[in-house]
Amino acid sequence: MTKAAKKLFIRTFGCQMNVYDAERMSEALCEAGYSSVDTPEAADLIVLNTCHIREKAAEKVYSELGRLKQLKSARAGEGRATTIAVAGCVAQAEGREILSRAPVVDLVVGPQSYHRIADLIARAEKGERDIIDIEFPEGDKFKHLPARPARARAASAFLTVQEGCDKFCTFCVVPYTRGVEYSRSVSEIVEEAERLAASGVREITLLGQNVNAYHGEGENGAPSTLAALLRRLAQIPSIGRLRYTTSHPRDMSADLIALHGDEEKVMPYLHLPFQAGSDRILAAMNRRHTRADYLDLVKRIRLARPDIALSTDIIVGFPGESDAEFEATLEVVKQAEFAQAYSFKFSPRPGTPAAAMENQVADEIKSARLQELQALLRAQQSAFNGACAGRKMPVLFERSGRRPGQLVGRSPYLQAVHAEGPETLIGEIIEVDIIGAGPNSLEGNIVSASNTRRIGGRAGPGDAGGRVEAR
Q: Which of residues 15-74 bind ligand 5AD (CB under 6 A)?
A: 53-54
273 binds ligand 5AD (CB under 6 A): yes
Angle at the Cα of 135 (from 129 to 136), degrees rounded to 5? 160
Nearer to ligand 5AD among residue 13 and residue 171 (C-beta): 171
269 binds ligand 5AD (CB under 6 A): no
Nearer to ligand 5AD among residue 334 and residue 471 (C-beta): 471
Count of CB atoms situated within 10 Å of the CB of 84: 22
160 binds ligand SF4 (CB under 6 A): no
349 binds ligand SF4 (CB under 6 A): no
C-alpha Rg value of the chain to the nearest Å: 23
User: Total binding residues for ligand SF4 by CB under 6 A?
Assistant: 10
171 binds ligand 5AD (CB under 6 A): yes
Position 413, amino acid: Y
Q: Which of residues 162-201 bind ligand SF4 (CB under 6 A)?
A: 165, 167-169, 172, 174-175
User: Total binding residues for ligand 5AD by CB under 6 A?
Assistant: 12
Q: Which does 165 bind (CB under 5 to 8 A by kind): ligand 5AD, ligand SF4, none?
A: ligand SF4
Q: 242 has which bridge partners?
A: 204, 266
421 binds ligand SF4 (CB under 6 A): no
Q: Is 189 helix (H, G, I), strand (E, B) or coil?
A: helix
Count of CB atoms situated within 10 Å of the CB of 140: 15
User: Which residue stretch of 28-36, 234-242, 343-351, 362-370 sits at the interface with ligand 5AD (rule: CB under 6 A)?
Assistant: 343-351
Give, in order, the Cα–Cα distances in Å from 224 to each of 50, 344, 393: 31, 34, 32
Q: Please identify which residue in 90, 107, 172, 298 interacts with ligand 5AD, judged by CB under 6 A.
A: 172
165 binds ligand 5AD (CB under 6 A): no
Distance between CA 398 and CA 408 in Å, rounded? 6
Contact status, residue 434 vs residue 444, Cβ threshold 8 Å: yes
Distance between CA 180 and CA 369 in Å, rounded? 33
Angle at the Cα of 449 (from 242 to 265), degrees rounded to 5? 15
Long-range contacts of the stretch 300-307 (C-beta < 8 A, 24+): 300/257, 301/252, 301/257, 301/260, 301/270, 301/272, 304/257, 304/258, 304/260, 304/261, 305/260, 305/261, 305/268, 306/461, 306/462, 307/268, 307/458, 307/459, 307/460, 307/461, 307/462, 307/463
CB of residue 359 to ligand SF4, shortest distance in Å:
21
Q: Which does 245 bind (CB under 5 to 8 A by kind): ligand 5AD, ligand SF4, none?
A: none
161 binds ligand SF4 (CB under 6 A): no
CB of residue 102 to ligand 5AD, shortest distance in Å:
23
Candidates 153, 149, 181; CA nearest to 167 is 181
Contact status, residue 421 vs residue 449, Cβ threshold 8 Å: yes
User: Which residue stretch of 90-98, 102-110, 160-168, 378-386 sits at the interface with ligand SF4 (rule: CB under 6 A)?
Assistant: 160-168
- From residue 196 to residue 235, the character string flagging contacts with ligand SF4 as x (rule: CB under 6 A) and all else as - is -------------xx-------------------------
Nearer to ligand 5AD among residue 236 and residue 354 (C-beta): 354
206 binds ligand 5AD (CB under 6 A): no
- Residues of this chain that interact with ligand SF4 (CB under 6 A) are 165, 167-169, 172, 174-175, 209-210, 248
